[in-house]
Amino acid sequence: MNQTSKKQDFRLRPGDVVTGKWHHKKYVIRKRLGSGAIGSVYLCESDGKPQALKISDKSSSITMEVNVLKSFQKVQGNRLGPSLLDVDDWIDPRGERYSFYVMEFLRGKQLSTFIHAHGEEWLGILMLQLLDDLTELHEAGWVFGDLKTDNLIVTYPPPRLRWIDVGGTTQIGRSIKEFTEFYDRGYWNFGSRKAEPSYDLFALAMVMLHFYHPKRFERGSNPQKTLLQKLYQTKPLAPYQPCLAKALKGEYTTSKQMKDELASLIMKRSDKGSNYYRINQRNSNTQPQPRRRSQVNKQTKAAGHPFLESIGIFIVVILFYLFYLILK
Amino acid sequence: MKKGTLKQILLITDGCSNKGEDPSAVAALAAQQGITVNVIGILEDNQSEDPTGLQEVEDIALSGNGVSQIVYQQALSQTVQTVTRQAMTQTLQGVVNQELKQILGPDKSLDELPPEQRGEVMEVVDDLGETSDLEVLVLVDSSASMSNKLPTVQESIIDLSVSMNARIGRNRFAIFTFPGKKKPIEKIMDWSPKLDSISSVFPKLTSGGITPTGPALKEAMYQFGKKSLKRSFLKEDESNIEETGF
């Protein structure tokens, strides 16, 4: 902050080359992907491969994030965060020092863009994927912390939810350091900022709410009430409602519990065949129910026809009879 | 190992001081006493990002070894907690850096270490930040122009206590406003571990255009002294973090 204000204008341009002080690797900057409280992320190229590079003048913050990414690496079969490729310092031509790390570049779509393009049934399914990953993360002793829509992307094919910014990840039992008010249960009066699995589950429920309220909403004088009311008013979320309400109230202690209940709600939902379930399903891991339901639909439509037909005939007959009466 | 206590003053203001001694000098004095001075300047909604009146904010924090930030009202809650955390990390890093210099020589600092070792050191800093005890004295400017911002200020202080109380280390908060009726500062709440209890809003003090930031900071500094004097009879772990080390 105060010490960094002099460097705030710092920005890399396409074509710039960042060379590591310790490991001497060269990275050619291609474009800026985004920037946040701690540094900016650039798409870069090294040995002909696209990679993502996060650079900041806040050396300590970068080091903290690297520590988290490293601990992810230790989680077995990790598909959790992007994998870490390099950590180094860069001295720019003016002699200023920056710290950076390089990670795998994940090509994908924003969560909301993907769902709008592929159908709302994906929301529940992607959340199940997220719950699987969270289960793994929690079992390894970590909490995601700053879980929000912006930190999630969908890579495909096959569609897979991935998280991109792991800066907020915190050891279980500690305090959440980084959060975003809308997704933070402390902000909504629904609990503490202690890192525990239920903290992430609350944020996950908020990710689902956020999809239908992209502009977010105010918490008002009674935050708990406001939030639950919003949930009950959001019609498309009705099928998930019992599960989401429990997540908001902190009634799940593990992500496994929430996953099981959400999964059973999603199954039940496709059995009943609610109106907004899209039929043109091309996804391999959904159940066969939708197709069955489409057949049922055709049958009911067919059953409707004879009735309409007889009314039509009846009207025509009446008309002819009237003509007959008039002409006579 | 006994953990030390991190002491911070958090000054929340919307303008520059116009009475009494230079606040930067007082902040430097506080820093000498092991008290970090952080400053948050609040902008009016229609003010531009870089107002001249708030230049002082950065200066005070710099001489107080603290962190400063200038924000709009709506970002206050989030800022209060980042500023507090950053200052904690900064202080602890300073301590670690000194230790490193003693071990590795005067030109070695954290940034001179290769990234791998730096990672290990930062883990220690992170641990300390989580487990150290923390004392924050919130000093709120209550001059006329601030009165419409006080509800937001109160909200963000409560929010800070929610954040900090999730830590493993203990916390104590005190709230003062300035200028007081006859004294430089007015006590709103004495040292206490939790702030959820303050339902009473800041009293509606409108004290015209005087902003004696310097004297207020000085008085705030003594509030740490008073308490530690009292507490030193009860426990002996009141020593500054620099002495405990790790």
CB proximity list for A32: less than 8 A, separation 6 or greater: A11, A12, A40, A41, A42, A43
Taking CB atoms within 8 Å and a gap of at least 24, the contacts of A281-284 are A281/A119, A281/A121, A283/A122, A283/A125, A283/A159, A284/A158
Q: Is the dihedral of CA A219, A260, A145, A160 positive or negative?
A: negative
What pLDDT, on a 0 to 100 scale, did the predictor assign at position B243?
44
Q: pLDDT, tens digit, for every residue of A295-307?
A: 444 444 444 566 7
Buried b (16+ CB within 10 A) or exposed e, A140-161: bebbbbbbbbbbbbbeeeebeb
What pLDDT, on a 0 to 100 scale, did the predictor assign at position A43?
94
- Answer with the residue of higher pLDDT: A170 or A81: A170
CB proximity list for B132: less than 8 A, separation 6 or greater: B3, B4, B5, B6, B88, B92, B169, B241
Q: CB distance from B145 to chain A under 8 Å?
A: no
Please report, for chain B, the start and end positions of each structural domain, with discontinuous segments joined by +: 5-235+240-244
Q: pLDDT, tens digit, for every residue of A26-60?
A: 999 999 988 777 788 999 999 889 999 999 988 88
- Answer with the residue of higher pLDDT: B56 or A286: B56
CB B66 within 8 A of CB B36: yes
- Answer with the residue of higher pLDDT: B147 or A201: A201
Phi/psi region, residue B223 (left: phi>0; alpha: psi -120 to 50; beta: rest), is: alpha
What is the CB-side half-sphere exposure of residue A326 using CA atoms within 13 A? 6
- Answer with the residue of higher pLDDT: A213 or A9: A213
Q: pLDDT, tens digit, for every residue of B162-175?
A: 899 899 999 999 99
Q: Test B115 with A63 for CB contact under 8 angstroms.
A: yes
Please report, for chain A, the start and end positions of each structural domain, with discontinuous segments joined by +: 13-104, 109-272
Q: Rounded to a whole number, what is the distance in Å from the CA of B115 to chain A's nearest CA?
A: 6
Counting residues of chain A whose pLDDT is more than 70, the rounded percentage is 84
A109-272 maps to which CATH number? 1.10.510.10
What is the CB-side half-sphere exposure of residue A101 using CA atoms within 13 A? 27
Q: Which H or E element spans position A55? A: strand A49-56
Phi, psi of B51 (to 5 degrees): -80, 145
Q: Among A36-45, B41-50, B57-66, where is mean pLDDT lowest?
A: B41-50
Q: Which H or E element spans position B214? A: helix B213-232
What pLDDT, on a 0 to 100 scale, did the predictor assign at position A244?
95
Q: pLDDT, tens digit, for every residue of A244-278?
A: 999 999 999 999 999 999 999 988 866 554 444 44
Chain B residues whose CB is inside 8 A of the A64 CB are: 122, 126
Which residue type, as a one-letter code, is found at position A289? Answer: Q
Annotation says A57 is catalytic: no
Q: Is the pLDDT of residue B237 over 80?
A: no
Q: Is the dihedral of CA B56, B59, B64, B67 positive or negative?
A: positive
Q: pLDDT, tens digit, for every residue of B199-235?
A: 555 665 555 667 888 999 999 999 986 655 444 444 4
3-class secondary-structure state, position A103: strand
The distance in angstroms from the start CA to the end CA of chain A is: 97
Its CATH class, for the domain covering B5-235+240-244, is alpha beta
- Averaged over B185-200, what is the pLDDT? 76
CA–centroid distance for B119 within its chain? 26
What pLDDT, on a 0 to 100 scale, did the predictor assign at position A167?
77
CB A127 within 8 A of CB A207: yes
- What span, in angstroms and rounded, lies between the C-alpha atoms of A168 and A206? 17
State yes or no: ipTM above 0.85. no
Q: Rounded to a whole number, what is the distance in Å from the CA of B60 to chain A's nearest CA?
A: 10
Is pTM beyond 0.90? Reply is: no
Superfamily of domain A13-104: Phosphorylase Kinase; domain 1 (3.30.200.20)
CB A52 within 8 A of CB A162: no
The residue from A57, A88, A146, A184 that is catalytic is A146
What pLDDT, on a 0 to 100 scale, did the predictor assign at position A305?
65
Q: Test A2 with B58 for CB contact under 8 angstroms.
A: yes
Q: What's chain B's average pLDDT?
A: 81
